[in-house]
Amino acid sequence: MVAVVAAVTALLAASGLTGYKLVKEGNYGGVEKNLHGVVRVVDGDTFEIAGKGAEVITVRILNMSAPDRGECYYLESKQALTDLLKNKKVKLEKDVSGVDGYNRFLRHVFISSETEDDDNLIVAKYMIEKGFAKVQPVLPDVRFKTYLARFGTLAEEEKLGVWDGCKGRLPKNFAETTNAQPENEDCLIKGNVSQNNGEKIYFFPECPSYSQAKIDPSKGERYFCTESEAQSAGFKLSGGCTTIFKKK
């Protein structure tokens, strides 16, 4: 083997290709090296890692929110994150913000695969799809907002975790109005149900009130791909949209 390496090196040098070295161990970008061991889990969306020396750094996972201390499912959510991160090293990625008002690092968190061909696990996705946390994107750190929304919608529809165990006593952040995101970028028509009279109305992205219309699947609200699909489901065009679109 040594003779082969020497021969190849000599061949490169003879060809004028100096400055090259043979790579004995391949790493093609799929195995992370800059990983951090978890010291302690604080709750379902926060944990600590070791810094320099005796320093301990607190990390708040972006794009999700778990029950706070004293709220329903707090212990279950904290235990789920503890079990997930036990004996694991995590990869941290900054979005836009560095720290929050509590001096916690704001990061997207991944459990890195140990091989080139396996997928990394997005910690927020796991917690949300199992019902231990809710999607909660906060500007400007919203890189995975749309991707995570579909898993939050499914968890709520399938009554997983908090959505089943906390009926009538949802944690504060979970009880807020759901605003599900579209699962298909081509299906952006919002089908909204009026809280006042139950009227079903739909909005095109161009409609004035489009951004104010929230989508809560638990109330029968959803996104549609076409206008005919919305109409077939019993929805009618919002009155505010008629000023823009001419009736055919």
Residue 161: inside a domain = yes
Residues facing 191 on adjacent strands? 202, 222
pLDDT the model gives residue 140:
87
Among the candidates 176, 194, 211, a domain finishes at 176
Same domain, yes or no, for 153 and 228? no
- Tell which wins on pLDDT, 3 or 219: 219
How far is the C-alpha of 209 from the C-alpha of 188, rounded, in Å? 14
Residue 4: inside a domain = no
Q: What is the pLDDT of residues 20-62, one digit of tens each?
A: 444 434 555 555 667 999 999 999 999 999 988 889 999 999 9
The pLDDT-based confidence of 198 (bands split at 50, 70, 90) is confident
The pTM assigned to this predicted structure is 0.63
Q: Of 103, 101, 122, 102, which is closest to residue 111 (Cα–Cα)?
A: 122
pLDDT the model gives residue 39:
95
Residue 3: inside a domain = no
pLDDT the model gives residue 24:
39
Torsion sign across C-alpha atoms 187, 189, 194, 199:
negative
Which CATH number do you get for residue 59?
A: 2.40.50.90
Answer yes or no: are the C-beta atoms of 109 and 92 closer than 8 Å: yes
**Domain total of the chain:** 2
Once rounded to an integer, what is the mean pLDDT over residues 202-229?
A: 87
Strands 64-65 and 56-61: unpaired
From the number of C-beta atoms within 10 Å of its C-beta (0-12, 13-18, 19+), residue 12 rates as middle
User: Which of 10-19, 85-94, 164-173 bottoms out in mean pLDDT, i.e. has the lowest?
Assistant: 10-19
Same domain, yes or no, for 116 and 45? yes
Residue 51 lies in domain: 32-176
Same domain, yes or no, for 52 and 152? yes
Q: What is the pLDDT of residues 78-103, one digit of tens each?
A: 999 999 999 899 999 999 999 998 99
Once rounded to an integer, what is the mean pLDDT over residues 187-210?
A: 88
The pLDDT-based confidence of 14 (bands split at 50, 70, 90) is low
The residue count of the chain comes to 248
One-letter amino acid of 209: S
